[in-house]
Structure 1
């Protein structure tokens, strides 16, 4: 390769002319990079600029092929398609191959005297018959060559070769940045395209599932079972952890039934105060209570002809359980304050995260209602058991949250793997929360592994948890004494019938016994602010004497009488009414 002597120029330009020309080229080159829509346009424009303003002709940018073992002319100005196609070199082959391999600049002052120059892309007969020089500079990403920028020029032009090298180095830097940015955009776009295709495929396959996304065997089995009974009048009991999508499943069954054109109503039995829930479910007549200025239909009546979804059915008290049982058995309701039966035709889908069998054993849930609801039990799998669905759901939630917040945030490499390794005790609801939080704290339009790790670290404080309203010590299996007899409140292992406490009332757990225990005043009644209501149990005839005695001791005050027995005022009045004691008080 010819030695390069910067002073070897016949008629050099003045320093002022050279500096002005170089600055103009750099300035225009920077503008082109900022304005061009694609690398093809930007790089071709740079090569044209160098040719027209500096006489650096037949510019080309060579980049590695897909195999990484060869170089190929990718962009050029002044070359034909055939010349571009012929411009292929192995690493280390020819001048361009050697520049790519070594990362060093090559200045060939006379190509006719350089053995390494191959005349492969441009034949000698195509070039001017004068002395032609060839300059090749590496396109660097840091210290690593990622391509080669090369040009031809007449050796005896009025411009020093070293000036051309300086400008070409700057242009190579522009090109490197453009290629790097384009690679990032292509990578992001490819990921988004793949994710969009995956989401579209999933949505296409699950059109009948009405927005329930997932491809895991566990979800597929639950969907199959739900669709199997969707177009039947059977009552379905959905069970599973909080956040597993019970309402979505119930709505999906409604939309796949003959009732799909009628109303679908949902009510959370745990979200409405006990005093209002009866009216909300069954409606009320005018004057039924203070403020009831007009008749109002309840959710059961409004959903007649359609479907009613009762979430957290395990939180219904025994009185409302009896009324719901009447709906299921007789298809009639009575509004609060009413005396007439109102016929209804409603399909009930209930859901709970509680163990209703245990609630039945403990007397907190009616056995007959349990069997009416549990005609078709369907357990929804938690997210941690839905292999492969976390990635699909995360991408869907990311797209939804981006749209909601007006962002365009993507997940960095490694984030999806971390999400898939988390246990998600809060299921889909927790995943949605994490995705939204990650978008809001993201920097530079990307959620990195550090951000997601910080969020999951906070979330890891919730693992195996007790649902609100449940006891941490609750066990799904009845406990038996050493004598082999079932403990009070649990079914006998042979008869299956509940064995209840006697006498009628016992103090609530960890509460003072009645009378004369701590927490009571001098008269044996609960002290001010002392209120430990007992769990609901079925009303029995042998309670009557206890209720009347408590009422007598309380001087006729039903609220105090109820509290003395560990009952709320409503529980106490209900028992008095059921046992026909109102007139005897």
Structure 2
């Protein structure tokens, strides 16, 4: 029987030590971890009313930070100066103390637990220091009945081990809290930088999605790393690239932007790398390319996913060798340029399909930044809408405002064309505002409906439900020629409701209502059609096509 009792006692000690050690993994929740340990030694070993006392930060007072089996009143009473009671002695001396019978010890104060609350038989008290790197950081104390089969020294050994576990939990938790605080401070600093930089360069928004993108951009601004801006068309990739340039130590150098999808393939190589005189028919003089022009500055390559496979190899050499070779020359020219690229395509998918070089993808994907679509930027639509309205009012010398219905509609619409579409529609709405004063939801709906009007065989039809409305000015490919069999029509690229690109065999009709918009833009541009086209987010070819089809010139 004695051996059986010994086995049971040893098993209980093993369970306590094992489960107490496991609580170190829960150091991020010290309250639960330490109270769990105090509960274990009470249930398994009869070491009751366990408490962990720590020093106040502002004064040399011990207070009960964690306890099991004590009432709230008892916990509140459990406070000791360094020279008070048994607990104070343990803290001051850094040595454990065993009181076999608290009734016979003058220094035992019975402050925490009133003597009448304890069993009416001899009660022992054990207190051990909680040590960290040779320094006493707290005290672990328990009560137990004196007359038990297990020796007090045995309990003391267990409690010393338990004190080590508690010390580890407190230490790891302190480290986690410090790291968390450092991260909070860094995030606040990055948020402040992001906010100031974002608004300074026209990036408006406070949603978590855009703040995350701005924070990443802030980290990359002064680092010589290639940045890949990913996101749907119209999410602000060029604005982010300009912010990266202006916030960097290259801000005094040139910022050169080029859209790889907007320039015909036969001209793109010369546009990027330049050419020597006589390199091809029409090359009457030597011309530096965009990469060379961006020396000591930043080159932004938009729609990099549309770059020809052969040019991808040449761009890779630029990234690796930091030199370019003009068309018609064999002489390498050193260049110091920071390259930022953007694509609405999934480049990894393009690699898998064999349309994009894997080695170039790895060189470009060093620091990717995902730009969120407008539909994922909670709260930002209202900010952006008012910003664009203010801009348009200043540009057009108007004083137009939104009515409540307009703002409500703007915030519920999905905006497949993202920020560019929102800006474009608000500019149109300012020009077409009722009585020149109010933008209503009815007007915005009409503008979207006109932009998304679909023509089959010359007749307007309702737009299919599965296709969301999108701005014709935003999504018409700049390389797409007008379709001859449909007079005054374009073949646009349309986005489905889920945001993925689909080529729909539908055609956009030039509306008579555009006449006033085209003419007003031309007047504000002082007769410069290219400038007028930019005001309306069109390419010059789109503007001229509409101008002619509407009989304006």
TM-score by length of 2: 0.47
